Structure 1
Amino acid sequence: MSGRTKKQHTVPRFYLRHFTQADGELWTHDCLSNSVRKTTPEKTAFETNIYTPVGEDGSRIELIEDALAKIESEAALIYPDLLAFRSLPHDAKAIFACFLGTMFARSPTQLRQFAQAMGQTAGKLVMEREFREKEKNGGLTGADVAVQDLLHNNDLYRMDVDRRVGLVSFQQAETLAQLMTRMAWNYEISDRQQIVTSDNPMFWVRGSGGPRSGIEPYGFGLANRCAVIPFPISPNVILRLDWNSPIAWTKLPLERKRAKLANQYQAKHKERLLFFRDLDQGFAALGMKYMNTIKQIDIGVPGPQIDVVRRL
């Protein structure tokens, strides 16, 4: 790819432009610094080479970044139809579902949590296999036994995992897109409460039809018939995907209480950034209230503390 882009946006610029004011700027709250700043979509939510790891030959692998650019371009052409509350034909729905799948996979939250999950399993599995091989061959030493005891005492050690391991999250995008094309899509419109978005805007929660309300961080996949995706597409519209709605492509009123709940979901799922059109210090307070991102990926097995770092 000629003229490659080092500054890669974790949230697409075209998406954030739909949350800007007339001057083309929006507000960003960063919960790590507890700061609010007004900026353009070009100058927020980006990192250097986050999607272009270095290959064995020392060159950057552009596959993910190139794919994201193509998917974004196609989704941007469909976006005006969503803002006009139109019904999408099947092909356009599939394209936008693919975009939503990558919105899930590309977020810093998913990269970090996938890396944590990989580190939690892979490191232990390799060391466990080596121990069993030595045990089988009669080659165990006292040091091996001591290391094995340490391995199974999760309170005594921590592990660093390279965040680039989390790029495997993109393997989930196609499966998620296929599921989303089968869901019912509707528009929820908030007239009295501004809607925020975040650096991890694509997630699912348990709908009111489930046996329990609230967010299920573990054992609750998108195929679950209680899953609901509340994806903000503008400061007053949420694109709602669910399995149980008897209608589709319908404009539904979003009462203020539920709009606030949608903002709370964004704050709970964000990695660090909330985005909003009009300045509201209540959103800054919301971002600080939910500083710790909800855990969406849990392998269900106790493990050591995993620290995800940008590079080992």
Structure 2
Amino acid sequence: MADPKLHHYVPQFYLRRFTDSAERLWVWDRTNDRVFRTQPKAVAAESNFYTLPQLVDHGHSPMEMEKQFADLEGQAAAITGQWLDWVRCGHPGDSLPMPEENREAISLFLALQSLRTADARAILVAFSALRGYQAESEEDARALHAAVLWDDELVSAYADRMSRCTWLFALNLTSIPFVTSDNPLAFRTSDSRAWVKPGNLGRDAYVVYPLAPDVIMYCYPDEGVWRDSNVSRFDCQISPVLMTEGMVQSENSAQVFMASRFIASSRKSFSLEREFLKTMGVDPNAPSIAE
């Protein structure tokens, strides 16, 4: 069987959770202001995004990174699938079962999801240029990205930080679904007034990650302002706060801000997301935006 050439930096299992009744995604191309309907396999992917020909010289497959992601995604799909069932059947304040091995797997998955996207690669290339290294080609950018993704110390430290967060889940029973994007892990400042990119570099920023149109996950770090708060007592619980339409719209604005280009939804309309984009000014990729 031939190796797949189209590599997803947002997993297909995840995108399938945002499809409509016909198992298609509605996608808004933020750059060209165009809405189209497509299959999950056609979004958040690039040809040979993780292919590393130089690995052949060391006796490895050039597809090694893509294969490792596929293994981790299988675990994440099963674990988060259970979470969705529990949250949908549970009640505010209920605790979700969380074996340590599941927490470790999802912590690694979330850390890598933040680091593996096209947007993360672009930011890395820009930072490297500021430090004197200019990626002259796509191959250079790919190799630079791979060096970060395969930095065990860096990735392990980031995954450990995710594991030590307080994980809180909220159910959306409003008529407005959560949307997602080609860069779905969002970061919000501790005062909840701004989205930040890359938020994984800040002490106080917390993670907002839609799991499905009706379920969202929050990860609050155990440092900064959160260390002295009471949020840790809600770890692995269903939030006692009921989502309102305004709250859902606010979380959806994160996906507009974080996206490299594409926002995906189970519905056709992106009118609210378009309105938020107008508030972001002339540069939709600015490092932060106030609500």
1:293 matched to 2:285: yes
Q: Which amino acid aligns with 1:45?
A: A
Secondary structure of the 1:4 match is coil
1:227 aligned partner: 205
Q: Deviations over 1:35-91 (max 9, x none)?
A: 111111122222100111321768962221111011101111112221022332111
Compare 282-291 and 193-202 and name the one that shifted more: 282-291
Distance 2:159 2:54 in 1: 28
Distance 1:123 1:265 in 2: 31
Distance apart, 1:102 and its partner CA: 1.4
Q: Contact (CA 8 Å) 2:7, 2:45: kept in 1 or not?
A: yes
1:104 matched to 2:104: no
Distance apart, 1:108 and its partner CA: 0.7
Q: Deviations over 1:95-133 (max 9, x none)?
A: 011111111111110011101111221338xxxxxxxxx
Compute the TM-score of the two structures, normalised by the length of structure 2: 0.79
Compare 18-27 and 59-68 and name the one that shifted more: 59-68
Distance apart, 1:215 and its partner CA: 3.2
Distance 1:3 1:287 in 2: 42
2:81 aligned partner: 80
1:122 matched to 2:109: no
Distance 1:18 1:195 in 2: 11
Distance apart, 1:274 and its partner CA: 0.3
Distance 1:216 1:21, change over 3 A: closer
Q: Which amino acid aligns with 1:248?
A: D
Distance 2:62 2:127 in 1: 23
Distance 1:215 1:281, change over 3 A: closer
Q: Which amino acid aligns with 2:70?
A: A
1:173 matched to 2:160: no
1:264 matched to 2:253: yes
What is the Cα-based RMSD across aligned positions, in Å? Answer: 2.6
1:248 aligned partner: 235
Secondary structure of the 1:204 match is strand
Distance 1:75 1:93, change over 3 A: same
Distance 1:219 1:40 in 2: 29
Compute the TM-score of the two structures, normalised by the length of structure 1: 0.74
1:41-52, aligned counterparts within 5 Å? 41-52=40-51
Distance 1:27 1:219, change over 3 A: closer
Larger Rg: 1
Q: Contact (CA 8 Å) 1:264, 1:286: kept in 2 or not?
A: no
Q: Contact (CA 8 Å) 2:179, 2:255: kept in 1 or not?
A: yes
Distance 1:11 1:60 in 2: 22
Q: 1:183 aligns with which of 165, 189, 192?
A: 165
1:5 aligned partner: 4
1:278 aligned partner: 267
Identity of aligned residues (%): 21
Q: Contact (CA 8 Å) 1:31, 1:287: kept in 2 or not?
A: no
1:128-147, aligned counterparts within 5 Å? none
Which runs of no fewer than 5 residues in structure 1 stay unpaired? Answer: 125-158, 297-312
Distance 1:72 1:219 in 2: 23
1:16-35, aligned counterparts within 5 Å? 16-35=15-34
1:239 matched to 2:217: yes
Distance 1:228 1:115, change over 3 A: same
Distance apart, 1:286 and its partner CA: 4.8
Q: Which amino acid aligns with 1:292?
A: P
Distance 1:7 1:293 in 2: 25
Q: Which amino acid aligns with 1:76?
A: A
Secondary structure of the 1:122 match is coil
Distance apart, 1:261 and its partner CA: 1.4
Distance apart, 1:160 and its partner CA: 5.0
Q: Contact (CA 8 Å) 2:187, 2:200: kept in 1 or not?
A: no
Distance apart, 1:236 and its partner CA: 1.8
Distance 1:46 1:23, change over 3 A: same
Distance apart, 1:183 and its partner CA: 0.8
1:53-92, aligned counterparts within 5 Å? 53-55=52-54, 61-83=62-84, 84-85=86-87, 86-92=96-102
Secondary structure of the 1:279 match is coil
Distance 2:112 2:165 in 1: 17
Q: Contact (CA 8 Å) 1:267, 1:286: kept in 2 or not?
A: no
Q: Contact (CA 8 Å) 1:27, 1:278: kept in 2 or not?
A: yes
Distance apart, 1:33 and its partner CA: 2.4
